[in-house]
Amino acid sequence: MNDSVPSQDNKRELKLMSLEELNLWGNVFNSYMLSSLGSLSNLKSLSLTHIFDVDAMEGSIGLPALKNLEKLHLEYGNENGWQNLTNLKELTLTDLSSTSNIIRDIGTLTSLEDLVIDGCDVGANLNLYGFCELRKQQTLAIINSDWNVSLPECFSELTSLKYLDISKNHFSGNISVFKNLTLFEYLDISFNNFFGDISMLKNLTLLEYLDLSSNKFSGYISFFMSLTSLRELRLSKNKIEIPNNNMIYNAETEMHSLDTPTFQLRSITLSCCGDGGSFPQSLNHQHDLEHVDLSNINFKGYQFPNCSLSGHFQLPPTSHRGLLYLDVSNNSLDGNIPNEIGAKLPSLKLLNMSNNFFGGGIAISIGGMIFLQLLDLSNNKSSSGIPRHLPMGLVLFDVSNNQLFGDIPSSMENLTLMLTLDLSNNTLFGGTPRWMGKMSNLEELVMGNNHFEGPIPVEFCKLKYFLKILDLSANNISGSLPSCFSSLSLTHVYLSRNKLKGPITSFFNSSALVTLDLSNNHLIGNIPNWIGSLSMLSYLLLNNNYFEGGISVQLCELHWLRLIDVSSNNLSGTIPPCLMITISNDSSRAKYNNSEYLDFIGYTSVDVPVKFTMKSISYFYKATVLTYLSGIDLSCNKLTGEIPHLFQHFQDIIVLNFSHNNLIGPIPPALADLSQIESLDLSHNHLSGNIPSQLLGTGQFVTFEESSYVGNPFLCGEPVPKNCSTNGSSSSVPKNATDEGFIDMKVFYASFVGSYIVMPLCISIVLYINPYWRQAWFYHVEAATMSCYYFVLDNVLPKRFR
C-alpha cells in the first residue's frame, strides 16, 4: 500500500478536525474523552448538556484550543482559558456549580453578543465589572442564580443591550443605571432589591416588555406614558404612588397634562402598587388589553378600562371583547356587580372581584360568559341565592365569605369540569346534593360553616380518584360516615362541628391524608388501629366525641404527626410512651422551607382553619400558621398511669395538655427539655410529689401559674400554695399516700374495729344511768324477740314441728 494514501482512520480524523458544529446532548462521556475536544480546533458551535458522568462533570474540555468557537452551551465543568475565546458570540451556562472563573475572565470575550446564565452559583466577593467590557452585547440573562451583588455604574455603558433579564436574584443598585440604555426592548429586573425613582426609565421608548415587580422602586406610575412601544407592564409590589389627579410633575416641578398614549397594552399588572389615588384617565384608550391585574391597590376615583373602580363598579359603554383576564380583588369597591357584565366583557376567562364590598346578588348575565373558567367573588357582601345558570366551562367557583342563602341549584350538576367549588361561610341550607358525585373532576369541595343537613351522600364515594380536600365542617350533617368513602387522593378532611355518629369507617385507604378533623361530633367506638397506616398524617383531631378504649400504639407509626387532639372523650388506659417520640417537631420544615413543606403536605388553594385549644382558649389556625404548631391534647378523659418520661425527641413541642385525667406519680423533670413550650396543663389529676425545680427557672415554664397544676391534692412546691417537706413530699400528706392511694388502710381498719367496741360501750353506760330508758329498752327488745319468734313459728317451721 502506498504510504501517501491516507487510511480510513486518518480520513475520519481529518473529517473530525474540520468539524464546525457539535452537539453532545444526553450522551455518556468520561473526562478523558471530553478533554480530547480541544483538538477540534475548527469548532464554531459546541453544546455540552446532560452529560451523564460524574467524573466528567469535574473535568476540562480544553477551551484554550477552541479559538474559533462562536457559540457555546455548557452545563458542566470548571473551565479556565476563557480569555482565548475572542470570537465567541453566544454563551449559555446552565446549572453550573461554580462560575467564578468564567466571571473573572468574562471581560475578555469582547465579541460576545448573547449571554445566558441560568441557575449558576458563584463564590464570595463577586465582581461584575468585567461585564462592562462587553460593548457588543445585545442579550443578557442572569436568572434563578441567587447572585447577591450590586450592579456597577458602568452597566450604563452597555448601550447595545436590547434584552435584559436578571430576575429572581438578589441584585441591588439604583435604577438610574438603566436610564441611558435606550435600545432596550425587553427589561425584566423583578424579584431583586433595586431602588430609585422609576421616572428614570422614561426615555426607553423602544421598550415593549417591562417588569419591575417586587423591588423597592418609588415614583409616580404615570412615567410609562412616554414609553410609546410598550405592550406589557408589570409593576406589582413596589412603593409606586398613584396620582390623585391626571397630572404629574416634571423635574422642574411644572405640571403637564398627559396626552392620549400612542401604545396599546396587552397586559398590565399593578398589584400592591401604591395605596389609593387616581389612575390616569388616558388608560381609557387601551382597547387591546387581555390581562388586567389591579388587585391590592385601593384605588380612589378612576376609570380603567372604561370602568370606575371607585365606589360603584361601572362598565364601559360598549363591549370589550379583547379582555381575557380581569383582577380587581383586594380593593374598596362597593355597590352591586352590574347585571350587564356578561354582555360588556363576554370573552373573560378569569374574573376575580374578591375582597371588596360588593353587595346585592350575583349578576345573572355571568351565566352567559361562555369562556369563563375562573370566577372568584369571595369575601364580599353579596346577599342572594346562587344563580341557576353558570358558565359550563367553569373550573373554579368561589363565593365563600358572603351572605348567600338558599339551596344549591340542581343545574350545577352539569358543571363536570369543576375542580374547585367553595361555598363556605354563607347561610346556605338544604341537603348535601347527591348529584355532586357526578362532578368527577372535583379536587376541592369546601362547604363549611353553612346550614346544610342530612347525611353525607353515598354518591360522594364516586369522587375517590381526584378529590383532595373535603370541608363540610360547622353544619348539621348527620348520620354515619360512608364506609365506601376512602379516596386515595384525599389530603385534607374537615368534618368537625356536625352531628355525625357511629364508628369511623371511612378513610382507611386514604394514604395521602395530612389533616383529619372529626372533632365535635357524636362518634363512638375505639380509635381505629388503621389510622396508624396513614403515613402522611400530620394533624389528627378527634376531640369532643364519645371514643373509648385505649390510645392505640399504632399511632406511634405516624412519623409526620405534629398535632393530636383526642380530648373530651372516654379514653382509658395509659399514655403510650412512644407517642411522645412520634410527635414530629422538626420545625425547620416550617421555619426555613415553609413553601416546600406546604407543597409536601398537599397544601391547596383553600385554607380551612382548624380549631385547637391553647392556654384554655380555643383558636382557629389556618394552614400557614398550623405548620408552626405542634402539640398533644389528651385532656378530659380517664387516662391512668404516669406521665411518660421520654421528651428528648420532643423539644419543640408548643402545647401539652394532660389535664382532667387520673394520672398519678411525679411530674417528670425531663419536661424542662421542652424549650419551646407555650402552653402546659397538668391540672386535675392525682399527681404527687414536688414540682421539679428544673421547671421553675427554665424558659416559658416561669410564666406558668398555679392553674397549670391545680387539682392535684398531693402536689407541692411553687407555684402551688402547698409547701414541701425536706424529703420532697407535701407536709400535709402521709408518707405512704402515693404508694397505697388516697386511703391509709391501717388507719381505716383501726377505726372500723374501734367503732364496734365504742358503740356497745356507750349504749351500756346510757342504760345504766337512766332507769326509764333502760326499762323501755328491755321492753322493746322483748317485743322484737317475740315478734320474730311467732313469725318463724307461723311462716318458716313445718306444721309437724309446731
pLDDT in tens, 16-30: 667 778 777 666 665
The phi, psi pair for 108, rounded to 5°, reads -80, -10
Residue 307, Cβ neighbours under 10 Å: how many?
21
426 found inside a domain: no
Strand partners, 477: 454
Q: Which of the two residues, 298 and 133, has the higher pLDDT score? A: 133
Averaged over 5-20, what is the pLDDT? 57
Query: Does a structural domain hold residue 781?
Result: yes
Instruction: For residue 486, give the nearest of 508, 468, 466 by alpha carbon.
Output: 508
Can you read off the three cell numbers belonging to residue 259? Answer: 396626552
User: Taking residues 44-69, what's their average pLDDT?
Assistant: 64
| pLDDT top residue among 594 and 505 | 505
77 within domain boundaries: no
Rounded to the nearest 5 percent, the helix, strand and coil shares of the chain are 25, 20, 55
Q: What angle do CA 742, 743, 747 make, to 5 degrees?
A: 145
- Asked whether the predicted pLDDT for residue 349 surpasses 90, the reply is yes
pLDDT band at 50 (very low <50, low <70, confident <90, very high): low
Helix (H, G, I), strand (E, B) or coil at 229: coil
Per-residue pLDDT at 27: 63
Residue type, 132: C
Residue numbers of the domain that contains 781: 755-796
What is the SS3 assignment for 116? strand
The set of long-range contacts for 284-289, using a CB threshold of 8 Å and a minimum separation of 24, is 285/260, 285/261, 286/261, 287/320, 287/322, 288/264, 288/322, 289/265, 289/320, 289/322, 289/323
- Return all residues near 649 (Cβ < 8 A) that are at least 6 apart: 580, 581, 585
What DSSP state is assigned to residue 758?
Answer: H
Full-model pTM = 0.75
Residue 342 inside a domain? The answer is no
Q: Is 767 a domain residue?
A: yes
Question: What pLDDT score does 86 carry?
Answer: 82
Q: Using CA atoms, how far apart are residues 563 and 540, in angstroms rounded to an integer?
A: 6
Q: Does the pLDDT value for residue 447 go beyond 90?
A: yes
**What average pLDDT does the segment 243-254 reach?**
40
Amino acid at the residue 325: Y
Per-residue pLDDT at 627 exceeds 50: yes
> What mean pLDDT is predicted for residues 212-221?
86
Number of structural domains (the chain) is: 1
| Structure confidence at residue 596 (pLDDT) | 46
774, part of any domain: yes
Residue 480 has pLDDT above 90, yes or no: yes
Q: In the predicted model, what is the mean pLDDT of the chain?
A: 80
pLDDT tens per residue across span 112-142: 999 998 888 777 777 888 888 888 999 999 8
Annotate 255-266 with b (16+ C-beta within 10 A) or e (fewer). eeebeebebebb
Q: Per-residue pLDDT tens for 656-715?
A: 999 999 999 999 988 888 888 888 999 999 999 998 888 877 777 778 888 889 999 999
Q: Residue 537 and residue 519: Cα distance in Å, rounded? A: 16
Task: Examine residue 532 and state whether it is found in any structural domain, yes or no.
Answer: no
**Where are any strands of DSSP class E within 550-701?**
563-565, 570-573, 610-614, 617-621, 631-633, 638-639, 655-657, 664-665, 679-681, 686-690
Has residue 768 been placed in a domain? yes
pLDDT (tens digit per residue) in 360-389: 999 999 999 999 999 999 999 999 999 999
Q: What is the pLDDT of residue 93?
A: 86
Can you tell me the mean pLDDT for 203-220?
88
pLDDT range class, residue 540, cuts 50, 70, 90: very high
Each residue's pLDDT tens digit, 729-757: 444 443 343 343 444 556 666 776 777 78
Confidence class of residue 193 from pLDDT cuts 50, 70 and 90?
Answer: very high
Contact 694, 673 (CB under 8 A): no
User: Which H or E element spans position 541?
Assistant: strand 539-541
Cβ within 8 Å of residue 663, ≥6 positions away: 575, 639, 640, 641, 642, 643, 682, 685, 686, 687
Q: How far apart are the first and last CA of the chain?
A: 152
Q: What is the pLDDT of residues 775-792, one digit of tens each?
A: 777 777 777 777 777 666
**Which has more confidence, 75 or 92?**
92
pLDDT at 253: 34
What pLDDT is stored for residue 584 in this prediction? 56
pLDDT at position 38 over 90 = no
Do 164 and 143 touch, CB atoms closer than 8 A?
A: no
pLDDT of residue 763 exceeding 50: yes
pLDDT of residue 314: 74
Between residues 65 and 479, which one has the greater pLDDT?
479
Task: Please state, in angstroms and rounded to a whole number, the distance separating the CA atoms of residues 537 and 513.
Answer: 6
Rounded to the nearest angstrom, the gap between the alpha carbon of residue 229 and the centroid of all alpha carbons in its chain is 40
